[in-house]
Chains A and B, each alone.
Chain A
Amino acid sequence: METLRSAFDFSDFPRLDISIAGIIAIFLLVFPLFSSSAFAMATMIQFLMFSLYGMGWNTIGGYGGQVDLGKAQYVGIGAYTTAVLLIRWDIPFWFSMPLGICFAVVWSFIIGYPLFRLKGHYFAIATIATSLVLMDLFGVWEFVGASRGLEISPIKYHPPDFWRLIFKEDIYYYYVILCFFFIGILYVNGFRKSRLGFQLRSIKDNEDVARSLGINVHWAKIKTYAIATAFVSMVGSFHACYIKSIEPEDTMSLDISILIALMAMLGGAGSLWGPIIGAAVLIPLKSYLKEWLGAAAGLAGIDLVIYAMIIMLISALEPRGIWGIVEKRRRRKRQ
């Protein structure tokens, strides 16, 4: 009961923030009524998906300070679970999504247990490696279509199919992911004020101090890693139904892992609004770059160059991202 109340309690934010968040929430709710552009709709869905990825990453990476660059493997696990179950056994999304989360969380324990023995850069590198290994495994695994991937053909179903999450119009997908988005915000809002949330922030500060306060540092990290994984896997399942065609390359590649982390870091790691702000900046940028690069074939890869530059700028100027700048200003004003 207390956790539920805490999730809905935003009272520790200034009134200005709550008003802005409210206006944005209303905008998101009514957006499809005003926009008829398919490009805008697709970008908005991407924005909501990556906000959720970022929120998940933010629990372990932002509040816990463990830079995880292997989140894409869990996008893959979620997406493949949903796609395989739907194609082979006609199991609907609302069953396969939780099952995908279970698989992903089990995998996250297997990965997390040894990996959290590592610290800092070594941890980051190891997460990249595990993700890439999984991508290669899926690339040769015939059962899941190897490198050709899987295709969900909508003709077999009768859209709108809420049960299997197969729609013709993007507006349905939009509202489904918007629901997840709001639930995600409430969850993270509760999480940051929970015991685990506080313990994680203490671990980020100083692990020895955290230990001396009775915190099982290793276990706290593994638990939070599993939470982050659940978020990512959930959106991965959605991705499978929304895109309808998945390959190892576009669900589990390094770019996606980096983009997920970058989302949260640019917006402000360790803050509730950070990943959303980050996604709001990066996703339109990404969509634009894709359009632009589609025309100029010789420039493939320039998006990665731009992401790298953003990472360098953040670490040099304000490690706590855009939200860090806002908070710094506020603090200065108060003094």
Chain B
Amino acid sequence: MALLEVQHLTKNFGGLSANQDISFSVQKGELVGLIGPNGAGKTTLFNCISGLHPISSGSVVFDGKDITALKAHEIARRGLARTFQIYVASGDLNVEENVMVGCFMRTGSTTKAKDRARDILKKLNIGDLSNALVSELPVAAQKRVTMATALGSDPKLLLLDEVAAGLNPNEIEEIMINIRHIHDDLGITVMLIEHVMELVMNVSDRVMVLDYGLKIADGVPKCVAKDPNVIKAYLGERFVREHGKELA
């Protein structure tokens, strides 16, 4: 049985349809990439799945249970964690404390939460940042802290929202190592939104493409990259008309 089963999910903001009739499933142990041009509805889809936005219609089944009507914190407690694209930290909590907040979902003990937070930070190779304030860190480190925080809650499925956006190639490499560790070693199913194609195409088992709120492709990275609909979405109709033969 699939770990995550989304059926006919539609999300409207007034007259705008951010997600239209989207259906897909994620199997246990998969690493699924979610791509699409800006404004395609990727983050909205994450927000709908994780319960931050109420869904207009459709259903979400996670780990065999219907979570469509559940609140965000209830969904999180069932083992669905996520990161956020823009991380706003007031500077009150340092890195370790941030990760501890995630750990507190599974334990009430401060000592246990602290030990677990240290362990996670070490595993993601950012143990040396423990005492830094999140707001004072470079973007790359901030993104890795958000991943660590989400991991603290010991999820079954982790949704990563643009963890590599705005990073340089070295930093992307490091993030890639982290993602592989989370997926391969910790055995967590991962779904990631990404614009950095090098990363998505490299790590994903499967790639899904959204455009204007619709799912336009779903398959192994190689096939998706050649899909005319996908190329059209990214490069425009004219490009496909003019270079159609080369692409085929």
Contact = CB atoms under 8 A, between A and B. Distances in A.
Interface of A: 2, 6, 65, 193-195, 198-199, 201-202, 204-206, 208-217, 270
B18 interface: no
Contacts of A193: 110
A53 B101 CA distance: 27
30 contacts: A2-B109, A2-B110, A193-B110, A195-B107, A195-B108, A198-B101, A198-B110, A198-B113, A199-B101, A201-B92, A201-B97, A208-B72, A209-B84, A211-B51, A211-B71, A212-B50, A212-B73, A212-B84, A213-B73, A213-B81, A213-B101, A213-B102, A213-B104, A213-B105, A214-B73, A214-B77, A214-B153, A216-B73, A217-B73, A270-B92
Contacts of B97: 198, 201
* Main secondary structure on A side of the interface with B: helix
A6 B101 contact: no
Given A2-B110, A198-B97, A201-B93, A208 B84 contact: yes
Contacts of A217: 73
Nearest to B104: A195
A45 B89 CA distance: 38
A201 B89 CA distance: 10
B52 A211 contact: yes
Contact of B88 (A201, A205, A211, A270): A205
Contacts of A201: 92-93, 97, 101
A206 B149 CA distance: 13
A185 to B, nearest CB: 18
B80 to A, nearest CB: 9
Contact of A202 (B51, B77, B93): B93
A228 B50 CA distance: 32
A211 B73 contact: yes
Given A195-B107, A205-B92, A213-B149, 15 more contacts: A2-B110, A6-B110, A198-B93, A198-B110, A201-B93, A205-B88, A205-B93, A208-B72, A209-B88, A211-B71, A212-B50, A212-B82, A213-B105, A214-B76, A214-B77
Contact of A212 (B72, B92, B109): B72
B90 interface: yes
A309 to B, nearest CB: 25
B24 interface: no
A212 B104 contact: no
A201 B110 CA distance: 14
B100 interface: yes
B202 interface: no
Contacts, number: 85
Nearest to B110: A193
Contacts of A195: 104, 107-108, 110, 113
Interface string B64-77: 00000001110011
Contacts of A270: 92
B93 A211 contact: no
Nearest to B114: A193
A140 B104 CA distance: 47
Given A194-B110, A212-B52, A202 B101 contact: yes
Closest 9 CB pairs of A and B: A214-B105, A211-B72, A214-B76, A202-B101, A214-B77, A195-B104, A216-B73, A206-B88, A195-B108
Contacts of B93: 198, 201-202, 205
* Range for the number of chain B residues in contact with chain A: 20 to 34
A99 B102 CA distance: 36
Nearest to A198: B101
A206 B111 CA distance: 24
> Which of A6, A65, A211 lies at the interface centre, i.e. has the most chain B CB atoms within 10 A of its CB?
A211
Interface in B123-167: 149-150, 152-153
Nearest to A62: B92
Given A2-B111, A199-B101, A206 B89 contact: yes
A204 B88 CA distance: 10
A151 to B, nearest CB: 45
Contacts of A208: 52, 72, 84
A199 B153 CA distance: 13
B87 interface: yes
Contacts of B81: 212-213
B101 A212 contact: no
B73 A215 contact: yes
B54 to A, nearest CB: 13
Nearest to A203: B101
Nearest to A6: B110
Contacts of A204: 90, 92
B46 to A, nearest CB: 10
B52 A198 contact: no
Contacts of A2: 109-111
Nearest to B105: A214
A213 B76 contact: yes
Contacts of B111: 2
A270 B50 CA distance: 30
Contact of B153 (A194, A198, A213, A216): A213
B113 A209 contact: no
A199 B104 contact: yes
B112 to A, nearest CB: 9
A6 B97 CA distance: 16
A194 B101 CA distance: 10
B138 to A, nearest CB: 15
